[in-house]
């Protein structure tokens, strides 16, 4: 019996396990993630709710698979070993990378302070606890996700300031969005960057350039995303969506998305489809052809109009 190892218990990793078990695959499956639970980050950002949290250890028991909760430090493709922060290294036969996206890191002083969140690193329970005792919030926005979060914070009664480096992702709706923000009494700063999250252990204020300092206890940074592929000791080049230059190593989910996506309208359905196609292929089925859906101008406009009607 060959071993199948999946790194990443997100939408694609979870669904790959489900599809394989539905097909009664006899693989011994190891699922690896640094977190205890999975939740839909897009849903949380848009609604500030976490209704569908999945405890990964319970899921693993139900699916009869092994689960390791630990941070992967590196993957050596030649020795086919995975190295962890705490666990001993593990060998793999078949490896599936479902690590998703990570926020682009910006040069902002004070990132270590409590109240600083990149969107990819959001912990809903930390956010919930801080929102109970804070009122002033700031969102750095470069995609529609940051706008959704800012409007959601305003809806629950928080004071919100938005910092934009540019508005290119809004296409022809720039002026409408800015008018809308003014109607909502949301302060915004155009063509600005965040220099520092000021405070001691916790954030007290935000410094931006052009120079301005204002009070804020929470900072959410929507800086865009990169594929989480920094685990490999050797460089990997993904080809044909799911494959690379190494045998029996596959990629699914957001980790193979286009990095120019500002709207993230099909992430969830794409991740599930990737998992189904790859599960079929691993079990001896057809080559997993996948053509990424091109988001139309109308779909982008509809997404923006949904914001304007929120």
CATH code for the domain in which residue 48 is found: 3.50.50.60
Instruction: Print pLDDT tens along the chain (310 aa).
Output: 679 999 999 999 999 999 999 988 778 999 999 999 999 888 899 899 888 889 999 999 999 999 999 999 999 988 999 999 999 999 999 999 999 999 999 999 999 999 999 999 999 999 999 999 999 999 999 999 999 999 999 999 999 999 999 988 888 889 999 999 999 999 999 999 999 999 999 999 999 999 999 999 999 999 999 889 889 887 788 888 899 988 999 999 999 886 677 788 888 899 999 999 999 999 989 899 888 878 888 888 888 888 888 7
**Cα–Cα separations (whole angstroms), residue 308 to 105, 123, 147, 248, 272:** 29, 27, 11, 46, 29
Q: In whole angstroms, what is the distance from residue 230 CA to residue 30 CA?
A: 20
What's the chain's Rg over C-alpha atoms?
21
Q: Is residue 305 part of a domain?
A: no
Q: In whole angstroms, what is the distance from residue 62 CA to residue 120 CA?
A: 27
Tokens of 283: 């079990």
Please identify, among 163, 196, 223, the residue that sits at the C-terminal boundary of a domain: 223
Q: In whole angstroms, what is the distance from residue 95 CA to residue 233 CA?
A: 15
Task: Answer yes or no: do 202 and 121 share one domain.
Answer: yes
Task: Answer yes or no: do 84 and 154 share one domain.
Answer: no
Q: Is residue 171 part of a domain?
A: yes
Tokens of 61: 């028991």
3-state secondary structure of 146: helix
Q: DSSP character for 254?
A: G
Contacts of 270 (CB under 8 A, 6+ apart): 253, 257, 292, 293
Q: Is residue 269 part of a domain?
A: yes
pLDDT value for 259: 62
For the chain, the 3-state helix, strand and coil shares in percent, each to the nearest 5, are 30, 30, 40
pTM over 0.85: yes
Task: Answer yes or no: do 61 and 47 share one domain.
Answer: yes
Domain that holds residue 120: 116-223
Q: Is residue 37 part of a domain?
A: yes
165 burial level (CB within 10 Å; 0-12, 13-18, 19+) = middle
Task: Answer yes or no: do 86 and 10 share one domain.
Answer: yes
- Quick check: 12 and 41 in contact, CB under 8 A? no
pLDDT value for 1: 60
pLDDT value for 248: 93
Please identify, among 207, 223, 239, the residue that sits at the C-terminal boundary of a domain: 223
- Residue 229: how many other CB atoms lie within 10 Å: 18
Number of domains the chain is built from? 2
Task: Answer yes or no: do 96 and 229 share one domain.
Answer: yes
90 burial level (CB within 10 Å; 0-12, 13-18, 19+) = middle
Task: Answer yes or no: do 124 and 173 share one domain.
Answer: yes
Q: Is residue 277 part of a domain?
A: yes
Task: Answer yes or no: do 192 and 277 share one domain.
Answer: no
Q: In whole angstroms, what is the distance from residue 86 CA to residue 208 CA?
A: 39
Task: Answer yes or no: do 272 and 194 share one domain.
Answer: no
> Phi-psi region for residue 241, left (φ > 0), alpha (ψ -120 to 50) or beta?
left
Please identify, among 195, 223, 251, the residue that sits at the C-terminal boundary of a domain: 223
Tokens of 30: 């190891």
Q: Is residue 299 part of a domain?
A: no
- Residue 152: how many other CB atoms lie within 10 Å: 19
Task: Answer yes or no: do 194 and 254 share one domain.
Answer: no
Give the residue ranges of DSSP H helices in 90-217: 124-133, 144-155, 174-183
pLDDT value for 2: 75
Q: Is residue 91 part of a domain?
A: yes
Q: Is residue 271 part of a domain?
A: yes
Task: Answer yes or no: do 17 and 157 share one domain.
Answer: no
pLDDT value for 181: 94
The angle at the Cα of 21, spanning 20 to 22, to the nearest 5 degrees, equals 90
Task: Answer yes or no: do 82 and 37 share one domain.
Answer: yes
Task: Answer yes or no: do 234 and 217 share one domain.
Answer: no
């Amino acid at each position: 019996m060959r071993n199948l190892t999946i790194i990443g218990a997100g939408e694609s990793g979870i669904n790959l396990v489900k599809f394989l078990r539905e097909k009664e695959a006899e693989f011994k499956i190891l699922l690896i993630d640094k977190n205890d639970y999975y939740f839909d980050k897009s849903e949380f950002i848009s609604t500030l709710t976490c209704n569908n949290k999945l405890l990964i250890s319970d899921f693993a028991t139900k699916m009869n698979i092994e689960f390791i909760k630990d941070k992967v430090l590196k993957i050596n493709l030649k020795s086919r070993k995975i190295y962890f922060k705490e666990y001993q290294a593990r060998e793999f036969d078949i490896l599936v990378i479902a690590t998703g996206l990570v926020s682009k890191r910006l040069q902002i002083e004070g990132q270590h302070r409590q109240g600083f969140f990149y969107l990819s690193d959001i912990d809903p329970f930390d956010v919930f606890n801080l929102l109970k005792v804070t009122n002033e919030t700031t969102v750095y926005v470069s995609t529609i996700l940051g706008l959704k979060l800012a409007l959601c914070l305003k809806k629950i009664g928080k004071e919100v300031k938005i910092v934009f480096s540019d508005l290119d992702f809004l296409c022809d709706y720039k002026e409408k969005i800015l008018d809308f923000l003014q109607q909502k009494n949301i302060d915004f700063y155009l063509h600005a960057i965040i220099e520092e999250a000021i405070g001691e252990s916790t954030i007290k204020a935000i410094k931006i350039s052009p120079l301005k300092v204002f009070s804020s206890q929470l900072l959410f940074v929507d800086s865009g995303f990169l594929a989480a592929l920094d685990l490999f000791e050797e460089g990997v080049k993904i080809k044909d969506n799911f494959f690379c230059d190494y045998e029996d190593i596959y990629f699914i989910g957001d980790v193979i998305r286009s990095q120019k996506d500002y709207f993230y309208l099909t992430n969830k359905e794409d991740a599930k489809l990737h998992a189904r196609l790859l599960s079929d292929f691993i079990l001896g089925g057809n080559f997993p052809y996948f053509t990424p859906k091109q988001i139309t101008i109308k779909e982008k406009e509809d997404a923006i109009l949904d914001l304007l009607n929120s």
